[in-house]
Amino acid sequence: MENLIMGLDKVFEEMVSIRRYIHANPELSFHEVHTPAYIADFHREIGLDVREGVGGRGVVATLRGAKQGKTVALRADFDALAIQELNDLPYKSKVEGVMHACGHDGHTATLLGLAKVLKDMQEELAGNVVFIHQFAEEIAPGGAKPMIEDGCLDGVDVIFGTHLWATTPLGDVWVKNGPIMAAADRFEIEVKGKGGHGAEPHNSIDAILLGSQFITQLQTIVSRRVNPLKQAVISVGHFEAINPFNVIADTAILKGTVRTFDEEIRTFIESEIEYLLKAVCEGAHANYEYKYFRGYPPVVNHPNETAFIAEIASQIQEVQQVKECDPFMVGEDFAYYLQQVPGTFFITGAKDPTWEVAYPHHHARFNFDERAMLIAAKTLGLATIQYLNNQDN
């Protein structure tokens, strides 16, 4: 443990430099070119076996310990978001309309710094470490699934991952057995009415009115149709009808998201939305089109590995608190890894205690306390070493 901690303390400034370089040069999901090349070059320079183009744009680097043993996988994502950065930083995004607003730059820097230290400890490792650098986490179908299909988990016994969380205090590590993040689905609806003059509503079928009625009724699915002990969210984020002020719209477009943890509830809501939409439209002699797109499944942590990470985190000096958190309604394609091998996904607090305001993820002023990367690296690193050294897992 001492060699790991000392090594990570020494490379921390390099981790910060890596994070800031990636932050200044972000790339959107499915358009990552320079970032995976940078990651692959780093791993090659420190002497790891590297596969590029895994599942499309992913990078997998393997560190083989001096002794035989099990294999631990660690995962970090590296894509950015279509957001114009509003932070005034020396390392502000150089790409118009693109920024790292979710901490993936920090995830990548954490894993690269840890890889460098573990490489120096290669003679002490009884097993292998697989560093999975994933593209396109932000946009479904995501990068995890094709990377798995391309063999990134072959021979892996366990997987660990973390998310730097900008609104959680620095020094906190949050864990959750079972579901920690939700299934994230989306829907698109086109309400088809009959356009007309605003002065003659009786000769029209008002698509805006029908869309509004539908949105209001939509909330009754969660409040009155879903068991209150089951968690679910339905949100409409887009309502569009481009018309002059005095024309009744013939068409309205609605787009929204559904978040659930339970597969039965997920399927029920998918069908219930159309049932309600059909009732609203038929009552007004209107038509509709309904499309439902299933996104990532829920992230479901495994009990033994979650308890293991909680115990590991409690040994890290910089960790002030390890707590069991409530589930998050956000989505994450780390879910696919956990469907294949045991593992856990945990939260590393990254809110600078001096900040009056911590902007949330996907905000144009998002940022995080870079010291969280060191906590994440120490937790993941110590978990890796202890897991490999304990072959009775």
Residues 232 and 164 in one domain: no
Residue 113 confidence (pLDDT): 98
Kindly provide the residue ranges of all beta strands, DSSP E only, lying in 19-120, ordered along the sequence. Answer: 49-54, 58-64, 67-77
Task: Single out the residue in 293, 328, 345 at which a domain terminates.
Answer: 293
pLDDT digits (tens, 9 = 90+) for 332-388: 999 999 999 999 999 999 999 999 999 999 999 999 999 999 999 999 999 999 999
Residues 321 and 365 in one domain: yes
- The β-bridge partners of 254 are 189, 239
Residues 96 and 125 in one domain: yes
Q: Which of 27, 32, 77, 79 is catalytic?
A: 79
Mention every residue, 6+ apart, whose C-beta is less than 8 A from residue 31. none
> What is the average pLDDT across 61-78?
97
- CATH code of the domain in which 242 resides: 3.30.70.360
pLDDT above 90 (res 393): no
Query: Measured at the alpha carbon of residue 305, what is the angle toward residues 303 and 309, in degrees to the nearest 5?
Result: 115
- By DSSP bridging, strand 299-301 and strand 178-181 are antiparallel
Asked if residue 163 belongs to a known ligand binding site, the reply is: yes
pLDDT above 70 (res 285): yes
pLDDT bucket at 173, cuts 50 / 70 / 90 = very high
H/E run at residue 290 = strand 287-293
Mention every residue, 6+ apart, whose C-beta is less than 8 A from residue 216. none
Distance CA 84, CA 52 (A): 29
pLDDT digits (tens, 9 = 90+) for 86-124: 999 999 999 999 999 999 999 999 999 999 999 999 999
Query: What is the DSSP code (8-state) at residue 82?
Result: S
Please give the mean pLDDT across all residues of the chain.
97
Residues 118 and 100 in one domain: yes
Residues 371 and 272 in one domain: no
Residue 390 confidence (pLDDT): 83
Distances, alpha carbon 61 to alpha carbons 335, 367, 368, 375, in Å: 21, 28, 26, 22
Asked if residue 200 belongs to a known ligand binding site, the reply is: no
Residues 202 and 171 in one domain: no
Asked if residue 362 belongs to a known ligand binding site, the reply is: yes
Residue pair 331/291 in contact (Cβ under 8 Å)? The answer is no
Residues 248 and 305 in one domain: no
Number of domains in the chain: 2
Residues 136 and 45 in one domain: yes
Task: Single out the residue in 268, 293, 318 at which a domain terminates.
Answer: 293
Q: Which of 27, 85, 137, 157 is catalytic?
A: 137
In the residue annotation, 27 being an active-site residue is answered as: no
> What is the average pLDDT across 231-249?
95
H/E run at residue 251 = strand 251-260
Residues 62 and 107 in one domain: yes
Residues 39 and 63 in one domain: yes
In the residue annotation, 392 being an active-site residue is answered as: no
Asked if residue 332 belongs to a known ligand binding site, the reply is: no
3-class secondary structure per residue, 292-352: EECCCCCEEECHHHHHHHHHHHCCCCCCCEEEECCCECCCCCHHHHHHHCCEEEEEEEEEC
Task: Single out the residue in 293, 321, 352 at which a domain terminates.
Answer: 293
Domain extent at residue 56:
2-181+298-389
Residue 376 confidence (pLDDT): 98
Asked if residue 238 belongs to a known ligand binding site, the reply is: no
Query: What is the DSSP code (8-state) at residue 286?
Result: -
H/E run at residue 3 = helix 2-24
> What is the average pLDDT across 160-167?
98
